[in-house]
Amino acid sequence: MSGGRRRVVVTGVGMITPLGADAPSTWSALLEGRSGIQRIQRFDASTLPVDFAAEVPGLTGPDQGAMKITLIDRALDEALAGAGALPYPGERLGVCMGSEAARPDLGVLAKRVRSREMPDRDEVWRSTPRAPTEHVAKRVGALGPTSTVSTACTSSSQAIGEGVLRIRRGEVDAMIVGGVDVLVDPVMVTGFSLLGALSTSGENPAAASRPFDRARDGFVLGEGAGVLVLEDAELALRRGATPLVEIRGWGCSCNAYRITDSPPDGRGAAQAMSAAIEDAGLSPGDIGYINAHGTSTMMNDSSETRGIHTAFGEAGATVSVSSTKSMTGHLVAACGAVEAIITALAVRNGVMPPTINLDHPDPACDLNHVANVPREQPVEHALTNAFGFGGSNGSVLISRWRG
Amino acid sequence: MSLRAAVTGIGIVCALGEDLDAVRARIAAGGSGVRPLAIEGAEGAVGAPVEGPNLRPWLTRRKDARLMARPSRLLLPAAARALGDWAGDREELGLFFGVGREPADGGESNDALSAMVDGGRLDLERVAGRGRDLYPPLLPLKSLPNMALAHVSIQLGVRGPGGTFTGGPEAGVQALRDGIAAVAEGRCPAVLAGGTDAWVDAGALRDRARMGRTGPPGEAAVVLRLEPEGTAGALFLLERGRAGLDLPGGDTPHRAALGHCGAADGVLALVVGQGDVIVGEEAGTCCEVRWIPC
């Protein structure tokens, strides 16, 4: 208990990303500054407006829904193996996943436009946002509260927040939280490029995602999954588990601005970060690292920068900031979970992964960047941001476990 | 400790109108909003569609309505009415909504898809050519579930904490439960919480048939304004009950009159039935909130 409330620790993590099939391989790639972005392999994208993305190598399946289940299964396996056997009865275990609906394969859809053939019951279920949640609940035997958050790019950040609040309230003893997304298909690539949101710098795909750089021109679609096992700290210790980190704060907000853009003053982002810091009972000066949302769009990165300065005041000039989307691409509904795991590893290992391709920092993004190479420095407390289309913001505060 | 909040405002948009007392009176008198649907390809189907609604009083820019899918259009008037004349700081007002089925395309991409097909097969050159020209640029965003919350936030200028839950009828109740907690735990001075869903378009009818769902589909939005227990003028109190996979979910009596309204269904049952609700679907989570008269 801390200040009368239960403390929440992370005891297991798992992720599958364009950089690696698990957390250690993804972490190694991040420290090497390796990009997971390349020409699209899954289909012939040569005629599309954008022909590169951050795919999970070798990921296949009959439809996006099936691929999402494959990804969440792998991340879950790793997280459960790391956490060890969870002794909690089903009704004391909950699940919250961030996920959006899976789109039908465009080729299949095209056939259906003509034939009016219907998808089968399983495919309809797999395409719903809640399918990964229900799948995970079944696998771990969770009978407690389960829910699915769909707030675009904030989804899995919000799922973590939900998990933390449920454990603090004593509704459950442990939560399996995370998120998954698969968006690299012709419809999404076409749709997001028509919105002007995607980078079109395809000459060298590995250099296309360049958050905070003057030459940034959009984000790169990615895919992946991240899962975290959250537990009541006291119960985790009692069963002999070793906490990786503590999740100490959570904050969220709405922008009330536009569905496509962030407000130039970054006020919603600032509100979410300030709420997380306040929830943790800390001050901005206590935060050593921010894993930024940093999408590599002109608007997001400058808006987030302003938000950091508003929330942090003087400390905004010194806090270390990086965006790992420069290497993973934008994992949309999965990014909050994957980046929370990356932040947890940064806190635990005392190394901050860099923003690669940050050759000419934009003056509008005047931050203490971890540019191009990792920075070794003990981090006691860190924030990880996730901001979504429609103006939803989430910020998770992760702290070194001090017992 | 059970968390409670006071309900100080209600907004409803359903097949029997947009005034809760009138809706309840119509149902009590045996009225029903279920009628034959005029949907191509679904001849003979019945459902409970909503006429309108009129969004103009709440739009900051009239053209914004074009960006709204059906669940957003239903939600905005319900949220605005629930907010009413609340005079607090909208920077701190929370928004928690359940949205069920991903907002449907509504046929907007049909021309693009048709132009992408050659002899029943997808032609990627056509995707990049005519298909791209015909593809509605904002469609990927319009169809995201959280857009309903986004439009309420934008049109009503609300900036507090927020979240969108997706799922079956428990999604709206899950949003209510989060809203109650946010108010009771002091994270927000007030919250708008509820559900919105639309199941009376051709795609939704097909999905329902595939999932083996019976009974008439409907569409609705119901939003409650929640404030701390003890707030003057409370209509009734809500208390968070249980949530889990081992609770008995059940049918809700209003469905004969208003259809199955997906993520709005549980909240609809609460305000129409004026009693506790436990809702859920199939093997999914069930959520409970308790209705306590003032």
Domains in chain A: boundaries = 8-238, 250-400
Each residue's pLDDT tens digit, B237-272 = 999 988 887 666 556 678 889 999 999 999 999 999
Q: In which residue ranges of chain B is pLDDT below 50?
A: none
pLDDT bucket at A107, cuts 50 / 70 / 90: low
Which residues, 6+ apart, have CB-to-CB distance to A228 below 8 Å? A10, A12, A13, A79, A160, A163, A176, A177, A178, A337, A340, A341, A344
Q: Is A335 a catalytic residue?
A: no
Tens of pLDDT along A54-106? Answer: 999 999 998 899 999 999 999 999 999 999 999 999 999 999 999 988 776 66
CB-CB neighbours of A120 under 10 Å:
10
* The pLDDT value given to residue A1: 56
- Candidates A182, A43, A193, A38; CA nearest to A110 is A43
Neighbours of A289 (CB within 10 A): 27
Residue A385 has phi, psi (to 5 degrees) of -100, 145
Do B47 and B34 touch, CB atoms closer than 8 A?
yes
B133 to chain A, any CB pair closer than 8 A? The answer is no
- Give the C-alpha separation, A398 to A378, whole Å: 13
Confidence of residue A139 (pLDDT cuts 50, 70, 90): very high
Q: Which residues pair with A387 in a beta bridge?
A: A393
Domain A250-400 has CATH 3.40.47.10: yes
pLDDT band at A372 (very low <50, low <70, confident <90, very high): very high
Catalytic residue among A96, A135, A252, A330: A330
Which pLDDT belongs to residue A30?
98
How far apart CA A9 and CA A21 sit, in angstroms, is 24
Strand ranges (DSSP E) for A69-158? 93-98, 146-149
> B150 and A392: CB-CB below 8 Å?
yes
Q: Residue A6 — very low, low, confident or very high, per pLDDT cuts 50/70/90?
A: very high
All domains of chain B in start order, with CATH: 4-104+143-293 (3.40.47.10), 107-140 (no CATH)
Cα Rg of chain B (Å, integer): 19
Give me the amino acid identity at A132: P
**pLDDT at B109 (0 to 100):** 74
pLDDT of residue B251: 61
Whether ipTM > 0.90 holds is: yes
Q: Which of A156, A254, A267, A332 to mutate to test the interface with B (most CBs of B within 10 A)?
A: A254
CATH number (1.10.530.10, 3.40.47.10, 3.40.50.2300, 3.40.50.460) of A8-238 reads: 3.40.47.10
- Choose the weakest-confidence range: A326-335, A361-370, B196-205: B196-205
Pick from A45, A111, A149: CB nearest B120: A111
Contacts of B233 (CB under 8 A, 6+ apart): B8
Q: Distance from A344 to chain B by nearest Cα, in Å?
A: 24
Question: Around Cβ B211, how many Cβ atoms within 10 Å?
Answer: 13
